[in-house]
């Protein structure tokens, strides 16, 4: 679990650096409020933490493992993973739709979203760039850390059920947005943790291979990016 801690620490450090850059350029207010970002600003915002989520697994595999992200963390996608990944992704989206409906019924408000910082109505080139950043790179990076490193480490120490729950909860908490109000923030955490549980179960079913969870994660994020063209 020490490697998980160091990866999370580097993620936070990278996020602080990214935030300072965005504040310096005026993209983020000094009080931390985030408006709609441009595509380069989105890249800075999401890539700030990649030094931890990608960098530390690489350090770990070279220091303690087989010097292979595929052998140590299951970073491998096979053709058979696509079907299970799409099924898992659609299932996760279905659960989030149910959560959104419940939110609207009990609050009479639009459901919270953690994608408000993404540019609305992007052009074709910007849309392709967002898909590459949000729906391709981000799923690979986050699955490598949360389901590759975190799930394995927690599962070995406390057992697989605890590993699934712990990695999913932390995955949700890392999508916490304090500026949106506590109720909104907790809703986003809960929905994202549910996504994490679905992704983790796909990895367990695949014997530790990340292919299905990467596809499912990409499916969820792709739907989110495509929704920008309709808002």
Q: What is the pLDDT along the chain (231 residues), one digit of tens a residue?
A: 889 999 999 999 998 898 888 888 876 665 556 677 888 988 998 898 898 999 999 999 999 899 999 999 999 999 999 999 999 999 999 999 999 999 988 887 888 887 778 888 788 888 899 999 999 999 999 999 999 999 999 999 999 999 999 999 999 998 887 666 788 889 999 999 999 999 999 999 999 999 999 999 999 999 988 887 776
Q: Are 227 and 135 in contact (CB under 8 A)?
A: no
**Of residues 150, 196, 202, 144, the one with CA closest to residue 175:** 196
In the prediction, which pLDDT does 76 show? 95
Whose tokens are 């760039």? That residue is: 129
Residues 114, 123: Cα–Cα separation, whole Å: 21
**Of residues 175, 178, 205, the one with CA closest to residue 88:** 205
Would you state the structure tokens that stand for residue 60, as one six-digit string? 């770990």
In the prediction, which pLDDT does 194 show? 96
In the prediction, which pLDDT does 32 show? 57
Q: What is the pTM of this model?
A: 0.93
């Amino acid at each position: 679990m020490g490697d998980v801690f160091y990866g999370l620490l580097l993620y936070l450090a990278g996020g602080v650096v990214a935030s300072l850059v965005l504040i310096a350029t005026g993209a983020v207010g000094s009080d931390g409020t985030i408006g709609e970002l441009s595509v380069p600003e989105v890249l800075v915002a999401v890539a700030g933490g990649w030094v931890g989520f990608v960098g530390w697994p690489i350090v770990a595999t070279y220091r303690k493992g087989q010097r292979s992200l595929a052998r140590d963390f299951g970073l491998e996608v096979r053709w058979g993973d696509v079907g299970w990944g799409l099924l898992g992704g659609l299932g996760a989206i279905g659960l989030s739709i149910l959560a959104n409906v419940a939110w609207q019924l009990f609050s009479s408000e639009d459901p919270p979203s953690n994608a408000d910082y993404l540019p609305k109505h992007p052009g074709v080139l910007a849309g392709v760039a967002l898909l590459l950043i949000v729906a391709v790179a981000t799923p690979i990076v986050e699955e490598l850390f949360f389901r590759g490193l975190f799930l394995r480490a927690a599962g070995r120490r406390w057992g697989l059920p605890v590993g699934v729950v712990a990695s999913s909860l932390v995955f949700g908490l890392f999508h916490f947005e304090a500026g949106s109000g506590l109720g909104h923030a907790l809703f986003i955490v809960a929905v994202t943790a549910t996504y994490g549980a679905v992704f983790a179960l796909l990895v367990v079913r695949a014997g530790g291979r990340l292919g299905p969870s990467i596809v499912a994660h990409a499916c969820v994020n792709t739907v989110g990016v495509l929704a920008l063209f309709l808002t």
